[in-house]
Copies of this chain bind each other. A is one copy, B any other.
């Protein structure tokens, strides 16, 4: 009825292809399954027929019994620019493996538990959770359902679920070294969401290293969340106190950017001469001339790779036990710290 591919009116299913190719439906099914036993000749014939009919297997129907080829991605912090390239990398990697991403936004009224139950309704082959931990009973539920889960950017004590993150304690230590090496003497730490292991570990590493190197004049304030505004306001609060720091380590870059703007625009201080700044992540913004932010880079591409690898390994082999990975961070020196002389 049209040009090119014979646009079929009705649905084209295995039955139509089988008919056209003069074979059985199971032959068609097998032709489309990589690890089914079928002769090259038959497969060719089927594929040819499928081509002319413009047949595509229905993934939903397939997913009922076997793999859905759906990977659930639960995102909890959509406002943090850090997750944009992360999400991009996840979808790319997932697509490379002929699977696709069911993206769930866990920001609003939905909580992690609901989200997990939800994706289960789609029979996802695997589940990625960004920066949030999983209640014990959900871990168990996933285990029963044999759905591999990987948590990105978070570590917990127990290893009943595979977690990929960077070494946040080392990140804090590196930040301390950068600050002290540049000659600052009254550093402060501005924390992210309270209770987040990422933020806590960075704080612990930072303070620990300050103490180890004999620095006693430090302070800590809470930011409350990973956001520009939180960094901005925490910084103002910091300078309302009596002990004004000469360097600040922010729990992440977007907070650091907020803090830098507070320092320059509201407090009228100079970076890096009056105050030195360090963040964590190395988001795109950090490398702009406007911020030129020294930071501890999270190797997010490697983290994504590791996450995907771990996930698909366990999809292929569900009996495999969870295996966590912690990747090293890297210090990136830019103009927000005085040069080391």
Contacts and interface: CB of A to CB of B under 8 A. Distances in A.
Contact of A289 (B4, B104, B118, B261): B261
Nearest to A72: B100
Interface string A260-287: 1110111000000000000000001100
Contact of A57 (B100, B121, B261): B121
Contacts of A140: 2, 7
A56 B289 CA distance: 52
In the complex, the count of this chain's copies comes to 2
A241 to B, nearest CB: 22
A137 B4 contact: yes
Contacts of A110: 95
A4 B285 CA distance: 47
User: A interface, how many residues as a size bin?
Assistant: 35 or more
A123 interface: yes
Contact of A88 (B63, B107, B123): B107
Nearest to A56: B121
Interface in A140-195: 140-141, 144
A107 B61 CA distance: 28
26 contacts: A2-B140, A4-B137, A7-B140, A7-B144, A9-B144, A56-B120, A58-B64, A58-B123, A59-B121, A59-B122, A60-B64, A60-B122, A64-B64, A78-B84, A78-B85, A78-B91, A91-B104, A100-B104, A100-B118, A101-B102, A257-B288, A261-B290, A262-B289, A264-B290, A285-B285, A290-B290
